[in-house]
């Protein structure tokens, strides 16, 4: 399984991962595996979200799977510690992202956004 990085340089993905780690470290979660779910989930999810339009447009299933697993882990981490007000928005984004990917026609370009050129 090959994961491409169209349109976002590695430096941008690294910044997204760093922001995700910062967000995860900022929560006052219980120590243990809920914290571990956040420390893995947030960086992974933000890296994919940074390039989500390309993930949808080019049908990059591996990136979507990484995102869905990360979001499920984030939501599960909040459920375990009883923070439902944080679990619900993350779970809703998990569903919205899956619907967006599933319903958007492959290769469709949004109005006003040029399609990326293949190297």
Residue 64 sits at the vertex; the CA angle it makes with 59 and 68, to the nearest 5 degrees, is: 155
What does the radius of gyration of the chain's CA atoms come to, in whole angstroms?
Answer: 15
Per the CB < 8 A criterion, the answer to whether 60 and 3 are in contact is: yes
Q: What is the pLDDT of residues 45-94, one digit of tens each?
A: 888 888 888 888 888 889 899 999 999 998 998 898 888 998 999 999 99
Residue 109 CB neighbour total at 10 angstroms? 12
Q: What is the pLDDT of residues 48-59, one digit of tens each?
A: 888 888 888 888
pTM of the model: 0.69
| Residue extents of the structural domains in the chain | 33-103
């Amino acid at each position: 399984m090959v994961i491409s990085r169209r349109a976002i340089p590695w430096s941008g993905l690294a910044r997204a991962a760093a922001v995700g780690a910062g967000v995860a470290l900022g929560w006052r979660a219980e120590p243990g595996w809920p914290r571990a779910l956040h420390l893995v989930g947030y960086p992974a999810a933000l890296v994919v979200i940074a390039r989500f339009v390309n993930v949808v447009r080019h049908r990059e299933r591996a990136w979507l799977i990484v995102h869905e697993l990360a979001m499920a882990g984030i939501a599960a981490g909040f459920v375990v510690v009883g923070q439902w007000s944080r679990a619900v928005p993350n779970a809703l984004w998990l569903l919205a992202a899956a619907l967006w990917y599933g319903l958007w026609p492959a290769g469709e370009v949004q109005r006003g956004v040029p399609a990326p050129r293949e190297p």
